[in-house]
Amino acid sequence: MKEIAPRDEAGQFKFPATTDAPVKHMIGLGARLLAISALETFEVRTPDSVDPERKYPDAPWVNTKVRDVGTASPIVARTFMTAHQFLHGNWEKGSRQEAVLECVYGLMEGLLHCQAVVDELREDCKRLEAIVVESNSDGKRTRAVINFPVVDRLNARCLDFLIHARGALTQQSQMVGLFVTLKRHHSDIRYLVKNELSADAKLEPLASYLASWFDFADRIVDLRNGLEHAATTAKKTYVHNYVQRGDKSIVAPQWQLHGGQEEFILSEMQYTVDSLVQMAESLFLYCFDVTKPAFPPIVIVGVEKPEADCPVRYRPHFDISALPMVSSPVPPEA
């Protein structure tokens, strides 16, 4: 009898969790298996994914935590978890489904990074503002502001945020090409709409929806280009740290495009993340709706009260009213 290799034997392991939230979702993604609780995400790799050629009989299982965010995050729920529940069992299986999930997962990671930049910057601003208030509230008259706030690496943080926000736009544009047949993938939604989607009447709702985001997308691209390529573009992005005014007020960090209006950085960053999540969620649903199979008949329904542990806002629903109904035969008379 052939001896069983250690890699093939039964075993058990624990996730390196730091909370009591149970793992409720196990989702395969390429060679990875994602284990997701409400508060954490883990990644599992089997011996066959670590050593696909099976050269080593004792190849290990790999089990690690990849982030302290789980399905309770609206970003995770409204992007990746929404895509998974709609594609699982309701759409064609195979490489195209996997490609869509991989794309949405990458999009989700970019949005989580953007939100992390916002959260870190917000906490730093609160800390700096508390210090300056405390340092200048002793009642002594002075012409100097003690411990004037300065955000560390503000330009770098802004560029980091804008690069990932631009990346989220690119991934959404390319996601469309995983649902509908295009001449090629596009990173510019304006080009995608005008040169690809507008030619197909069936895709008009999708084209109209994307067109409503043109100005928003242009703003992100211009801010990113104006900061990253300031030496070679006329529309530069200027980043202003805290500013002291003559009336003794202190203005929070702002940015502006050359010739444009100053906007508070934190406010626009958060608006950008929220809008990108809204765009990603709705764009996926538009793409699913125009490419879903005729059978079984699926409709998209809103969730009246999203769950706190996984606040998805839409679910696929089996539409029984769309099925052909056959009348029951009349029983013969006795």
pLDDT tens sequence across 127-167 = 999 988 877 766 565 566 778 889 999 999 999 999 999 99
Phi, psi of 148 (to 5 degrees): -60, 130
Q: Of the candidates 318, 319, 257, which has an alpha carbon nearest to the alpha carbon of residue 89?
A: 318
Between CA 39 and CA 21 the distance in angstroms is: 7
What is the chain's mean pLDDT, rounded?
88
Q: Is residue 250 pLDDT above 60, yes or no?
A: yes
Q: What pLDDT was estimated at residue 329? A: 61
Place of tokens 């606040």: 311
Q: What pLDDT was estimated at residue 320? A: 65
Q: Positive or negative, the Cα torsion across 128, 252, 123, 116?
A: negative
More confident residue, 263 or 232: 263
Phi, psi of 250 (to 5 degrees): -115, 130
More confident residue, 127 or 248: 127
Between CA 246 and CA 259 the distance in angstroms is: 23
Q: What pLDDT was estimated at residue 53? A: 82
pTM summary value = 0.89
Q: Of the candidates 177, 128, 180, 185, which has an alpha carbon nearest to the alpha carbon of residue 152?
A: 128
Q: What pLDDT was estimated at residue 20? A: 92
Q: What pLDDT was estimated at residue 214? A: 96
Q: Which residues have CB under 8 Å from 115's CB, separation 6+?
A: 75, 273
Residue 277 belongs to what H/E stretch?
Answer: helix 265-291
Q: What pLDDT was estimated at residue 158? A: 98
Between CA 209 and CA 218 the distance in angstroms is: 15
**Is residue 233 within 8 Å of residue 226, measured between CB atoms?**
yes
Q: What pLDDT was estimated at residue 140? A: 60
In this structure, the chain runs to a length of 334
Q: Is residue 323 pLDDT above 60, yes or no?
A: no
Phi, psi of 329 (to 5 degrees): -65, 145
Question: Which of left, alpha, beta for 153 (phi over 0: left; psi -120 to 50: alpha)?
Answer: left
Q: Which residues of 242-272 are buried (b: 16+ CB within 10 A; e: fewer)?
A: beeeeeeeeebbbbbbeeeeebebeebbbeb
Place of tokens 């125009």: 290
Q: What pLDDT was estimated at residue 291? A: 82
Q: Which residues have CB under 8 Å from 187's CB, separation 6+?
A: 169, 170, 173, 174
Give whichever of 89-103, 228-242, 318-332 has the largest mean pLDDT.
228-242
Q: Of the candidates 93, 114, 138, which has an alpha carbon nearest to the alpha carbon of residue 273?
A: 114
Between CA 146 and CA 47 the distance in angstroms is: 59
Q: What pLDDT was estimated at residue 92? A: 63
What's the pLDDT band for 57 if we cut at 50, 70, 90? confident
